[in-house]
Chain A
Amino acid sequence: MYVLNKITGEKQAATITKIDAAEISQINKTKRFDFNWNKEKAFHVYKLTVEDKEEPIGLLSMEERPQDYALEIRLLAVSKENVGQSQKFSRIAGCLIAFVCKEAFKRGFGGFVCLKPKTKLEAHYIQQYGLQSTKMYLITEGENSLKLIQEYYEDKQERK
């Protein structure tokens, strides 16, 4: 899995790790991310870090819904310096979404992941990540989730 350094054009290895309540508080205090992440402590929160750097550049909160055989993405944000055209790294959100897809396969949910989109962003999520629209949720499962995993986990140049 890698993110793209837009300044140097280099691919840099990315790692996603689960964080506990203490680390959530600590990151929240830095104000490097939008939203109040302390409200996500009851859920599964992960950080994305790039090789050789401790500071995360992406955060994700997801809820496991075993009774529904699904993972729901509750909240995702890249660090403030990575929002918009002046971003240093691209692919952060895609890596985090692909990570949830992989977790959904590992839990035996067939890669089923859903999220409730802001209405005006729905079309962008569909276009960027191939999500399917239902009345309330955007979903990905099966082949599309596999495609996202391949897109964000595998370096195509290294595959062949």
Chain B
Amino acid sequence: MKTNRKESKETNFSKFTGEELADAFIFPTDKVLSAKEKKEEGEFWKNRRNQFENRTHGQKMYSRLLQLKFQLEDYIDSSQYVETLSFGFFLNEYVSRQDKKDKDFAVEVDVKPAVLSQYINNHRKPTDEFIIRLELHSNGMIPAISWFKVVQKDKEHEIMTNQKLRDEESKYVKNRLGFAY
């Protein structure tokens, strides 16, 4: 049977301590399981599925919010711009993943429902105060800086692609540099 140990002749694992090996490797598992071990493995995964599927409402919500936090962080760390992943989108997700109605959430962060709706629909830019309230509301799970960076990402895209504004502002610019670029 083929094993995943092609290079084992080159590295003498026995010269390293257990701590050093654990700091450098997770070894491949080439071992063929016995019938008993297969059964145990089956039970392990069955338990895992049961545990996951029987989570409490609170645990499910917590998991959904952490998922959102890490998705948001990944997006702001990436160089890609995705139009649908706007501040409004993430805010809407933040509210709906708590199974809350917009109007109830608006009360919790002390803004008018109409203002919240404008934020969610990207018709209004969030204030610094609102972004700080979001951090406080999540108890720091999603920091203000993450929300700010999403807004910033939307703004960067807007400034790079806004041809209409360029056309409008053109009339105010005189004596432009003549260098080719």
Give residues in A with beta carbon < 8 Å to B.
31, 33-36, 39, 65, 67-70, 73-78, 80, 82-85, 87, 90, 92-93, 102, 105-112, 115-118, 120-121, 123-125, 128, 134-137, 146
Contact = CB atoms under 8 A, between A and B. Distances in A.
Main secondary structure of the interface of A (DSSP, over half): mixed
Interface residues of B, number: 40
Contacts of A117: 26-27
18 contacts: A34-B8, A35-B8, A68-B49, A73-B26, A74-B26, A75-B27, A77-B25, A83-B11, A84-B20, A92-B24, A105-B69, A106-B70, A107-B67, A110-B52, A111-B66, A112-B52, A117-B26, A118-B27
A68 B16 contact: no
Contacts, number: 121
Interface string B34-46: 0001001100110
B70 A102 contact: yes
Interface of B: 2, 4-8, 10-11, 15-16, 18-29, 37, 40-41, 44-45, 48-49, 52, 55, 59, 63-64, 66-67, 69-71, 74
Given A33-B7, A35-B5, A84-B20, A134 B28 contact: no
Contact of B4 (A35, A83, A84, A85): A35
Contacts of A36: 4-7
Contacts of B29: 74, 116
A33 B5 CA distance: 11
Contacts of B28: 35, 39, 74-75
Contacts of A77: 24-26
A108 B63 contact: yes
A136 B66 contact: no
Nearest to A76: B26
B22 A121 contact: yes
A99 B63 CA distance: 17
A134 B11 CA distance: 30
Given A35-B7, A105-B70, A112-B48, 8 more contacts: A39-B4, A77-B24, A78-B23, A83-B24, A92-B24, A121-B21, A121-B27, A128-B19
